[in-house]
Amino acid sequence: MEELEDGFAVYVDDDGGERELRRRFPDATSAPVAAGWEDAWRAFHRGVRVGRLWVGPPWETPPTGALPVVIDPGRAFGTGGHPTTRLALELLQELEPASLLDVGCGSGVLAIAAAKLGFAPVSAIDVDEAAVEATVANAAENGAEVSAALADALADPLPEADVAVANVALGVVEALALRLESRLLVASGYLERDEPRLDGWRLRARRTADGWAADLLEREWRGAAR
């Protein structure tokens, strides 16, 4: 499955795969693909400039002057081209570097970009083993210090960090916020019309693009000063 600006391109190799796709996405359309479809997804994976950063595949050359984040997604979700990823990267560049936790790291785009921007230490977790493998491989390719591990963010203990970033579904963001001890949260993965209901957090900034949104939230500490 490849991430596009206006949707997804999904490749299946048998009738059962197409039936399952239509069960999950009734409005999906289908068309036969030519030989070599296994590599056709590369045509959709293009580099994108986001502030000081350039996020793109290893077969493209970063522009002069950009801080490159080279991403080969493999079997993991996330190439950097989706608006939610770009918006989260914009917000990260407004923060002072500190320790960071990337929840639902996918291919590692946000974690690796954070490390390139000076955040440290950087931890990344995902429930998908393929995502953890992709993050480790991409971090090594970029020479970035990222510790990636398999974990369920809504059940397992979370690594401590000053900043958390979560480009995931709205419901996951709302549940996750109850478990975080981070001072700041960069949240995305939902539509512009959605506003996360997060008790104990206040909105510091919001970015929107193409109907999607990302929020920078700050914890309202209660009781003793933190």
In terms of domains, do 112 and 4 share one? no
Whole-Å CA distances, 69 to 59, 73, 107, 153: 12, 12, 11, 25
Higher-confidence residue of 101 and 46: namely 101
The domain that holds 155 is classified in CATH as 3.40.50.150
**Cβ partners under 8 Å of residue 127, min gap 6:** 104, 150, 151, 152, 153
| 224: in domain | no
Could you tell me if 2 and 8 are in contact, meaning their C-beta atoms sit under 8 angstroms apart? yes
Over range 156-163, report the average pLDDT: 96
| 54: in domain | no
Over range 11-18, report the average pLDDT: 66
The confidence band for 192, taking pLDDT boundaries of 50, 70 and 90, is very high
**What is the three-class DSSP state of 196?**
coil
In terms of domains, do 158 and 204 share one? yes
Mean pLDDT of the chain: 87
Over range 161-183, report the average pLDDT: 96
| 145: in domain | yes
Is the per-residue pLDDT at 36 higher than 70?
no
| 52: in domain | no
Please report the pLDDT score of residue 24 as a whole number: 72
In terms of domains, do 112 and 160 share one? yes
Structural domains counted in the chain: 2
In terms of domains, do 173 and 96 share one? yes
| 135: in domain | yes
- Domain of residue 103, residue span: 75-219
| 161: in domain | yes
Please report the pLDDT score of residue 40 as a whole number: 57
In terms of domains, do 2 and 100 share one? no
| 225: in domain | no
